[in-house]
Amino acid sequence: MDIKTAFKRFFTRDKTQPTQSDGEDDLLYAGALTHPSTGLDVNRIYRLFRAAEDGDIEAQSDLFTDMEERDGHLFSELSKRKRALLTLPFSVTPPPDATEAEKKIAAEAERWIRYLPGFRALLMDMLDAIGHGFSCTEIEWARKGDLWLPARFHKRPARYFTMPQSDPDDIRLNTGVADGEPLWDLGWIVHRHKSKSGPVAQSGLFRVLVWTYLFKNLSVRDWA
């Protein structure tokens, strides 16, 4: 699909549903975190890893969230790396041999991005992909004069998503039906971060650090 068609389709849809996940059953996302780190052992890790490899990443995602919240050292090291990226400069550059019109568009795009509400928070949210392998943020658009611009960004937890077994790199919204629902074009910012090779559910840094987390907590329980 070309960009013009995508824009036309997105901005002529039903405006009563500003974001894709707003149209889904609230009960689908209302479930509490399962906190699989409680009583964690090798067999439980094996089961939730196998489920993630089959597209059901909810338990794996909940475990990764537990790890970041409960391991102060892990949180500190990850936070340092995220915040370091916020200090880096950025720019929007036009394509090679750009026309004057393309240069003007690039300059305008950079100005819009710099003044987006919540831009720094958006970057921090996107960097959750380091641990989980991916991060999805939903865009809520609003009209400003003749322009459609992002008005708000909604970070969605990794547990909201699934991957069909036929294509384990295809991130979809988990709507409770087989294979989930494809993400709307222009409705999402999807950041992927491959800390290791493999499908998206196996590519996050936390997938490797699970074992360090397990053995550290086994040692703590032994001393209790």
Q: Where are the domains of the chain?
A: 37-81+117-223
The conformation of residue 114, written as its DSSP 8-state character, comes to H
- pLDDT-derived band at 161, boundaries 50, 70, 90: very high
Q: Percent of the chain beyond pLDDT 70?
A: 85
Q: Percent of the chain beyond pLDDT 90?
A: 70
Predicted structure pTM score: 0.86
What mean pLDDT comes out for the span 183-210? 96
Residue bearing the bigger pLDDT, 161 or 11: 161
pLDDT score for 27: 45
pLDDT score for 137: 97
Q: Could you tell me if residue 55 is left (phi over 0), alpha (psi between -120 and 50 degrees) or otherwise beta? A: left
CB 152 within 8 A of CB 140: yes
DSSP bridge pairs for 142: 149
Tell me how far apart the alpha carbons of residues 183 and 192 are, in angstroms, rounded to a whole number.
15
What mean pLDDT comes out for the span 83-100? 93
Phi, psi of 217 (to 5 degrees): -75, -30
